[in-house]
Each structure stands twice: as structure tokens, then as C-alpha cells.
Chains A and B, each alone.
Chain A
């Protein structure tokens, strides 16, 4: 079974630029999550999708962050414009219908904003 795929693995941009991250969850997983992990901290949930609907986006900075999950499969997270404090690892995770309490994480995208 293939794991959660994320791309790119690394990205360096300048502040005020835009960036997008892509995630393909494990096949058949209905729930998809995006987390932000700042150095030295635990992952913080940005947004949770159930199929292609948003379940929780209470911690998503909506003035600059957006996410979509068209067709209920893969997902894109966008930052526009980026700030220095957005430098972090962005983790995507998915969970199955059976055993929904367990999340399976991708390798993450490491973003550096200069």
C-alpha cells in the first residue's frame, strides 16, 4: 500500500511570494489533514477535510492560506502572500473510514521564507 505522497519536499521563497503544496492521501482514505509544524513545536492542525468538505479550518489563517480537495482525493494548500513566520514543515495526513482515529502522515514539505 502506497503511503501519503507530498510534493515538493523542499521549497525556498521570498516573503510576499506565493507557494503551493500538493498531497495525495492513501487510496480510500476519506479524511485528509494539513498540519503546520514550526521548528521545536508539535504539529498544529490547519484544516481537516472529510471527502471534499471542510470539517475544521478554525486555525487556518484565511487571509493568506487556502486549501482545496476537489473530487475528494488529492489536495492543495496555498499560501499567498508568504510571511517569514510561515517557515515550517507542512505535513499532510489521511485516515481511513475504519480506524479513523489513526492518522497516516506524509514526509512533509519543508518551507523556508526569506
Chain B
């Protein structure tokens, strides 16, 4: 079965500084990888996903993640964070193909400090 590990439970960072949220996965077969974001008192929203093709995927609000098969990682990065990026970020993995079970990590709380 697939699993995902988010090593950092909380990441404080100053506004306009860069940030990296780490995610490692475990699977013996081909996977899809996701980052979801959860703002306070809201449900999860898809931030970006890797299905196949280019290993670098981007979101519309400046985040990017790179699929690294050799290191089984899918770290999330942003070169300059904004106060509005304060939220909890969840890495998730599923087997490739539709309607597969998605396994979520424990989440990383990003706290942007003004």
C-alpha cells in the first residue's frame, strides 16, 4: 500500500521569504501525487497535481512541486510567500488511474509572519 510522509508539522516563515514543504512517498508502483491546501474552517482545495509528463508542476498562485522518482519526493516550493498563504498543506498519493484511493499525509501548517 502507498503512504506519504510530511516531516514538518509546522513551518514558520517571514513574508516574502521562500519556503519549501517536504513530502516523501512510498509505493512500489506508479503513483499520482497531489498537494491540497486547507484554509481555516474550510475544506481541502487541490493546489497542484502530478499525473505524468513533466516532473515540475505549478499552481496558479505561484507554488510549484517537483516529482523526484529517485528520491521518492514531491516537495512544495514558493519563492516568495504572502500572508494569504497561511494555511495547512497536505501531500497525498494514489495509485495511477482513476477512482483510486487517496492517502493523505499528516499536514504541514505554514505560518507566514508579517
Contact = CB atoms under 8 A, between A and B. Distances in A.
Interface of A: 4, 31, 40-45, 48, 50, 55-56, 91, 93, 95, 100-108
Given A101-B49, A101-B51, A107 B102 contact: no
Contacts of A43: 44, 90, 104
A95 B34 CA distance: 14
A12 B107 CA distance: 25
A103 B102 contact: yes
Contacts, number: 55
A111 B94 CA distance: 27
A50 B99 CA distance: 8
Contacts of A105: 36, 43-45
Contacts of B99: 31, 48, 50, 55, 95, 100
**Size class of the B contact interface (CB-based, 8 Å):** 20 to 34
Nearest to B44: A105
Nearest to B99: A100
A50 B46 CA distance: 21
Nearest to A3: B43
Contacts of B34: 102
B28 to A, nearest CB: 19
Contact of B43 (A41, A48, A55, A91): A91
B100 interface: yes
Contact of B106 (A42, A95, A103, A108): A42
A111 to B, nearest CB: 15
Contacts of B92: 42
Given A31-B99, A55-B99, A101-B49, A40 B43 contact: no
